[in-house]
Structure 1
């Protein structure tokens, strides 16, 4: 839980005593690689904080292929926010890319936590504003950048993901095929030789 306390303190002031109460709202558990945390058409009832490992959120497109839309590594949150908020069926899966240690908070416990600790509501507002801004930037980049620019920008600016996530998932996230990623990586390597 110390990881969550450290992350909270990046955005709000939390005493040890307050955190002892805050942590009672969370459950800690482990997830094995390739294990799903939620499923398509089920309601997302939990918000997940990654203590260790990597998760990805995806949907299955009309071709029957997984289309990644989000990754979460240490100190990142992940859930289908609209499903959680609106109590509607999720359109996404959340799956472990690596073995993970996760903190989860149910929707009910999160509402109680926010009522008891308004400063935690401020924390969530800040991290969701950052997440929304990053999502908008990603959409803009997907529209404006070439396929190769998308890939090399991701690799350069997000090495914490690029070194841990399989290339086929990075390709999916960027709207590329694994074959195309392999091709541009080979071309880049040959230019360096």
Structure 2
């Protein structure tokens, strides 16, 4: 049994083990290799993904061919293009494994069925979406209020689990910096 999801649910709502066992058939377990693509831009966004182990990043490619990371997800985090998933439309984003990753994935249709059978999950998902939206606002503040150097150091100090696990080029992409600039900042700090 994927205990991580059971414990995560119970941080926000009350779910018994019996209820949880009845919820599990709605999900499929997915295993990804490092750098394997889970979702490609231009495809229909059909699933919501809960990370059991590993790390994902959601990104897009700019008109100039530059990869821009929008979001990361590590253990106990959900990831999808929320708007495309909600509307069941084509996504402009791709999702890729940063490291070997195990997920529980649920389709839009199965999630709707699950919510019908277990309405208490509405509160859980609302909490998850609120946290996700709040994190997006914090990122916008970083981008608008901090210098590039402050943004990098604030991010690595506030989220050391990412600084240790995620390659620097992806952190640079997430913060809107170049990998070369991140190298300069790090070198300056060491000297």
Query: Which residue does 2:181 correspond to in 1?
Result: 180
Compute the TM-score of the two structures, normalised by the length of structure 2.
0.98
Aligned pairs for 1:44-123 (under 5 A) are 44-123=45-124
Question: How much has 1:40 moved relative to structure 2?
Answer: 0.8
Question: How much has 1:180 moved relative to structure 2?
Answer: 0.4
For residues 139 and 62 of structure 1, the distance between their equivalents in structure 2, rounded to whole angstroms, comes to 21
For residues 115 and 160 of structure 1, the distance between their equivalents in structure 2, rounded to whole angstroms, comes to 36
Instruction: List runs of 5+ in structure 2 lacking aligned partners.
Output: none
Query: Which residue does 2:141 correspond to in 1?
Result: 140
Instruction: List runs of 5+ in structure 1 lacking aligned partners.
Output: none
Question: How much has 1:56 moved relative to structure 2?
Answer: 0.2
Can you list the C-alpha shifts for 1:44-90, whole angstroms capped at 9, x where unaligned? 10000000000000000121011000000000000011111112110
Number of residue pairs matched by the alignment: 190
Q: How big is the alpha-carbon RMSD for the aligned residues of Structure 1 and Structure 2?
A: 0.6
Aligned pairs for 1:149-188 (under 5 A) are 149-188=150-189
For residues 30 and 127 of structure 2, the distance between their equivalents in structure 1, rounded to whole angstroms, comes to 26
Compute the TM-score of the two structures, normalised by the length of structure 1.
0.97
SS in 1 for 2:165: coil
